[in-house]
Amino acid sequence: MYNNKLPTIKEIARRLNVSASTVSRALHHHPSIGLVTTMRVHKVAQELGYEANKTAIYFKERKTYTIGVIIPDLSEPFFSSALTGIEDAAEASNYNVIIGQSLDNFEREKKIVENMKNHRVDGVLVSLTKETSTYAHFDSLKKYNIPVVFFDRVPNRQDINYVACNLVSGMLQAITKLVNMGHSRIGLINGPAKLAATLQRLEIYIQCLKQHHLPLNQDIIVSTTLAKADNRKAIDQLLSLNEPPAAVIVFNDYVLLDCIAAVKAAGLVVNKDISFISFANLPIWEYMESVPLASIEQFAGRQSSMAAGFLLQLINSAATPNVTEPPFLQHIIDSEMIDYTIAG
């Protein structure tokens, strides 16, 4: 049934009339094995095309040299480049990467965590679902000493490891730019209320307005569920005001794409009748006619590879016996406004 004629340490041992332990040590160039024996072992191993059975080692060492990555959606460039960053970091340390897409579905996220726990990954990197508001499913990983590092979409608490992006820097640059251009009525198209990023953007928006001594007008703050129709409704709502804002901060570039379509449909011209600054810095703007003044880059790759670094650090520190619990690894990367009026 099984093709069990794969070369193993035992087989090499049998052929050379030595013990398996000797073979194992010889293969690792252990000093207690004589040079002659070591060479003979390597020769036979070579001939047989021996390769260590990692599953046996994983089992014995209680390590799988595998990290799990849980992200909402690979089709978003942000997450696919995040994954690339993770893969690079993992490969450099000889770790494998197994992935799970939550598709922004909480139940799927839970199931993926469960699966990765069963698979005994050595650590998990997570960017949360839009729906996630409880974190008990991650606590279950502690039982197996599986460290977790969150990135970008992180829980709103401090007893975790995470890498996130500080939007203040980018948003402040954005609003400063708009003010310098003469704008004082700056609208906001925000995301769905239950998303942490939404509240965050609102707070920063308010903070930045205050910093520029601008008034806060509730009527030019609208929101969208991120669905296409809703995006258009949001911008239409702003356009239908008596005095529409001539500059709008938009939740992200995807929302903005729909907004721009709506603006055109209304017979208005982007960057003349109305200007935008958004979040994501999508590469496609380079090819578009109507573009935002700027987009705020959140550095997917940098966030994720730093998170991966944290994770590897935690994995290694868990392997060495530590008296004191290591402190939480946390870092916040500054976002940065990418100015398209300069670049292009």
Under the rule (CB under 8 A), what is the footprint of its own copies? 1-3, 6, 49, 51-56, 58-59, 62, 64, 66, 74-75, 77, 80-81, 83-84, 87, 96-101, 115, 117-120, 143-145, 257, 260-261, 284, 287-290, 321
Is residue 25 within 8 Å of residue 32, measured between CB atoms?
A: yes
Task: Record the tokens describing residue 196, joined without a space.
Answer: 């942490």
Site for DNA in 9-48 (CB under 7 A): 9-10, 17-22, 24-25, 27-28, 32-38
Compute the least distance from the CB of residue 131 to its own copies, in Å: 19
Residue type, 231: N
DSSP 329: P
Say which entry of its own copies, DNA, none residue 99 contacts (CB below 5 to 8 A, set by partner kind): its own copies
Number of residues this chain uses to bind DNA (CB under 7 A): 30
Among 14, 29, 43, 59, binds DNA (CB under 7 A): 59
272 binds DNA, rule: CB under 7 A: no
Q: Which residues of 275-312 are buried (b: 16+ CB within 10 A; e: fewer)?
A: bbbbbbbbeebeeeebbbbbbbbbbbbbbbbbbbbbbb
Compute the least distance from the CB of residue 270 to its own copies, in Å: 11
Say which entry of its own copies, DNA, none residue 58 contacts (CB below 5 to 8 A, set by partner kind): its own copies
Task: Output 38 or 304, the one with its CB closest to DNA.
Answer: 38
Residue position matching structure tokens 């909402």: 72
Residues 61-100 as x/- pattern, contact with DNA by CB under 7 A: -x--------------------------------------
Q: Using CB under 7 A, which of the segments 56-64, 69-77, 105-113, 201-209 binds DNA?
A: 56-64
317 binds DNA, rule: CB under 7 A: no
* Helix 167-180 and helix 196-211, axial crossing angle in degrees, nearest 10: 40
Task: Record the tokens describing residue 174, joined without a space.
Answer: 């954005």
Is residue 201 within 8 Å of residue 191, measured between CB atoms?
A: yes
Residue type, 200: Q
Q: Using CB under 7 A, which of the segments 2-10, 64-72, 95-103, 265-273 binds DNA?
A: 2-10
Q: Which residues of 223-257 are buried (b: 16+ CB within 10 A; e: fewer)?
A: bbebeeeebbebbebbbeeeebbbbbbbbbbbbbb
Residue position matching structure tokens 């260590």: 52
* Rounded Cα distance, 302 and 289, in Å: 29
57 binds DNA, rule: CB under 7 A: yes
Task: Output 105 or 115, the one with its CB closest to DNA.
Answer: 115
Q: Contact residues for DNA (CB under 7 A)? A: 4, 6, 8-10, 17-22, 24-25, 27-28, 32-38, 50, 52-53, 56-57, 59-60, 62
